[in-house]
Amino acid sequence: MRYTAETVEHPTRLVDADGRTWILVAGSDPAAYRPHAKSADKPTPHLELHKRGGLRYVAAPERQDVHFLDTRFTRILNRVPGLLIPTVLAAVAETQNRVGQSLIAGNPGSDASIALLITAHSTGQTIHASGAYDQEIMPVIADVLTRWVTGPGKYVEVADNLAQALAPALARAGGWRNCIPGHHFLVLDENVFQILAWLRFHTTEGP
């Protein structure tokens, strides 16, 4: 589905063709938007943004995507539980390599997005380069995340939605500590607070 001016009535957040995030100005009539982190800029009318083309509204993931991811997480748990978090972080790094800053375009200023970006830059890229993750499932997860942030019509925010999709698998495994292999513990331990900051809304575990 491609975004049109009538697809969603005044969506709260939009992402344009250049990956910039636009926030709805509360009470604006007709609807107008300001770019993220530039609240002093003059609001841009909704229809003007739409005429520029490539506009997407920020939306929740499809249920089938969440189910698909959960089945892949479960498959990893059934194979080698300790590869779950390394595989997910490697998939985030792979997605970042493909799309750059678009990884967090839907909500770039959120704590979860910042934590995910830090994790992708550091631990994720280290694991991605090592190849020590589920080689079959990692690219499949990355394909879903890539589609979330590049698909037409809508943009699915990765940081919160991926954490939420991952939380049930972590719970079934008995916690994130059971989803890290021993040979990855040191590199993950160095960044454990960033990882937990990303997952914090969906896990109650401490470091």
pTM as predicted: 0.84
Answer yes or no: is pLDDT of 23 > 90.
Answer: no
Q: Is residue 195 part of a domain?
A: yes
* Residue 80 Cα distances to 76, 84, 138, angstroms: 6, 8, 13
As for how many domains the chain has, the answer is 2
Answer yes or no: is pLDDT of 104 > 60.
Answer: yes
pLDDT band with cut points at 50, 70 and 90 for residue 186: very low
Q: Is residue 6 part of a domain?
A: no
Residues 104 and 42 in one domain: no
Which residues, in sequence order, are bridge partners of residue 34?
23
| pLDDT-above-90 percentage for the chain | 35
Residues 86 and 150 in one domain: yes
Output the average pLDDT for the chain. 82
Residues 131 and 175 in one domain: yes
Q: Supply the range of the domain harboring residue 78.
A: 63-199
More confident residue, 150 or 201: 150
Predicted local distance difference test score (pLDDT) of residue 111: 74
H helix count then E strand count, the chain: 9, 6
Residues 69 and 54 in one domain: no
For residues 43 and 14, the answer to whether their CB atoms sit within 8 Å is no
Backbone angles phi, psi at 140, to 5 degrees: -70, -45
β-strands 21-24, 32-35 pairing: antiparallel
Residues 46 and 26 in one domain: yes
More confident residue, 27 or 119: 119
